Structure 1
């Protein structure tokens, strides 16, 4: 049967509320085995659910993508429960395209929630062993006060969020302007400990965190740490908690750590749920920025400074002190994600 006719049947069955599996059975019973397969029907049904009822094939080739992976990551981490069709609609792309980009940023769907990736058994075991070791070390000799940690984040200029409206039966929702997905943003790099902020810096437009940039930041962090927490530097010695992104594990960085005689804390791969900057600092920053519209780079920098000014002295200590509980949660879940 001509494919264009089969797609008409797909749409008909979809509008009738027929499941993909039943649609395949209905078509193959009438037209012969293997005329339709469930994977193809599922893809077309996903397209119909997104509101696209165009029955023509997508153009071949690789058109220029409209998806900014940084923006996609921000959207997914702000609301991990968003369905794929909603994400595709926001970027005005097809569902297969959004799935490709989600794969590029290591996001997979787990029970209706986007998580960093599907951990294999080896990765779960590494997380489990790392957390057991950290818990044992902390029990023998507490070291949370020695931890310094860091990470980078994109801050959007426009932080408005569209929210649901409670309306009566005949109520008309208020319209809000569609947000620009590809809007301006500025990257901030922040270094802190349980005692507070050590130092932070904003990347210049177009600049990324390379090994050279990261080493310079580490030098500045150690200089500021000697001023703000001299006891930690001279007597206790700091311990660096960082993730395993590329700038953090280069040969240049390893030499820098040796030069500074700085210990790094064991941090397993793909573990943002065990990184205080992710689960504590940036989460609070997102909440503070929600609804704010920042019209220039200086406004972004001022907003970040305002956020730091609102943080109580106990805010930073609380974020670090959550680590043993999160290590235990990871152990209790045998290395799997627990958030």
Structure 2
């Protein structure tokens, strides 16, 4: 620059080092992908520190560029063998056939029931096992663990409109065929008072008290038609994949509720059920049909 300060010209024209124009460049993308593949539970702040970029850029690379998402592991009772899958697929195909023939009336006749421990408190949540995965990555699985010792067993039967029967069994009592038959008699009496349609179709899992010869004879005398249910298939039972998870999420609360007694737990459960509208129960039953179809489509493998 003629007549100007030569020092100013040098400072203005020289190339300067510094941060790249974009922290989301190809090199950082590959580095982030490599770090996630080596440790799927890696934290964004650790990636940002290693690459010397902001957490905002790390989030952008992970979600918007790589398309990864952090998901929880699924609880499954056991790894399915080929024989188990071959049992699950035709069972679901048979149930879908009934639904196609009878439509919504088939769903309206189903009364599903199951048992579950309801804890005074439960500090373990699925978010603790969340890890990153690509859109096409299979979801990871974790196996069930023992929760807190203070608990009460909830047994509930429900249909597409309401709760049909609910009762609690305190810890230390025995769940056997005699107890289950007594519960079924109470359910049958309540259904006769509440329903004005065809006989109910009972849907329960293959626990021993449900499938013993004594129970089967009692079901026949009470005119129950039992819906087939494949073994090791909690994700095909509406209570397991729909009702119980939503109930326990509510009982846990945002910061974790602690109940002082069994009576407090029972009161909280009954109150939550009373708040549910018909659409809540209808949605749970309709999701059952969708899961039957998914099981068939996946050749009998576990359904998300």
Match of 2:111 in 1: 148
Match of 1:273 in 2: 235
Distance, in Å, in 2 between the alignment partners of 1:192 and 1:181 is 25
Distance, in Å, in 1 between the alignment partners of 2:236 and 2:171 is 29
1:188 aligns with 2:150: no
Q: Is the 8 A contact 1:80 1:115 kept in 2?
A: no
Distance, in Å, in 2 between the alignment partners of 1:271 and 1:206 is 26
- Name which of 140, 143, 157 aligns with 2:120: 157
**Distance apart, 1:238 and its partner CA:** 0.6
**Distance apart, 1:310 and its partner CA:** 2.3
Assess, with a 3 A threshold, how the Cα gap between structure 1 residues 80 and 247 changes in structure 2: closer, same or farther: farther
- Name which of 202, 222, 241 aligns with 1:240: 202
Q: CA RMSD in A?
A: 1.9
SS in 2 for 1:322: helix
**Distance apart, 1:183 and its partner CA:** 2.9
The count of corresponding residues between Structure 1 and Structure 2 is 211
Q: Is the 8 A contact 1:158 1:183 kept in 2?
A: no
Deviations 1:279-326 (A, max 9, x none): 111011111111111001110111111211221221111111111110
- Name which of 128, 133, 140 aligns with 2:94: 133
Q: Is the 8 A contact 1:160 1:293 kept in 2?
A: no
1:307 aligns with 2:272: yes
Mapping of 1:222-237 within 5 angstroms? 222-229=188-195, 231-232=196-197, 236-237=198-199
- Name which of 212, 218, 221 aligns with 1:259: 221
Deviations 1:204-232 (A, max 9, x none): 33113210110001000010111122x13
Assess, with a 3 A threshold, how the Cα gap between structure 1 residues 114 and 261 changes in structure 2: closer, same or farther: closer
Q: Is the 8 A contact 2:205 2:231 kept in 1?
A: yes
Assess, with a 3 A threshold, how the Cα gap between structure 1 residues 271 and 161 changes in structure 2: closer, same or farther: closer
Q: Is the 8 A contact 2:152 2:169 kept in 1?
A: yes
SS in 2 for 1:295: coil
Where does structure 2 lack aligned partners over 5 or more consecutive residues?
1-70, 129-145
TM-score (norm 1): 0.59
Q: Is the 8 A contact 2:120 2:148 kept in 1?
A: no
1:120 aligns with 2:85: no
* Higher-Rg member (1/2): 2
SS in 2 for 1:158: coil
SS in 2 for 1:191: strand
Match of 2:181 in 1: 215
Distance, in Å, in 2 between the alignment partners of 1:132 and 1:322 is 15
Where does structure 1 lack aligned partners over 5 or more consecutive residues?
1-78, 82-112, 165-179
Q: Is the 8 A contact 2:202 2:226 kept in 1?
A: yes
Deviations 1:101-157 (A, max 9, x none): xxxxxxxxxxxx542111111110111001111111110112010001111111111
Distance, in Å, in 2 between the alignment partners of 1:223 and 1:129 is 33
Assess, with a 3 A threshold, how the Cα gap between structure 1 residues 192 and 124 changes in structure 2: closer, same or farther: same
TM-score (norm 2): 0.66
Mapping of 1:1-339 within 5 angstroms? 81=73, 113-142=74-103, 143-160=106-123, 182-229=148-195, 231-232=196-197, 236-290=198-252, 291-339=256-304
SS in 2 for 1:203: strand
Larger RCO (alpha carbons 8 Å, 6+ apart):
2
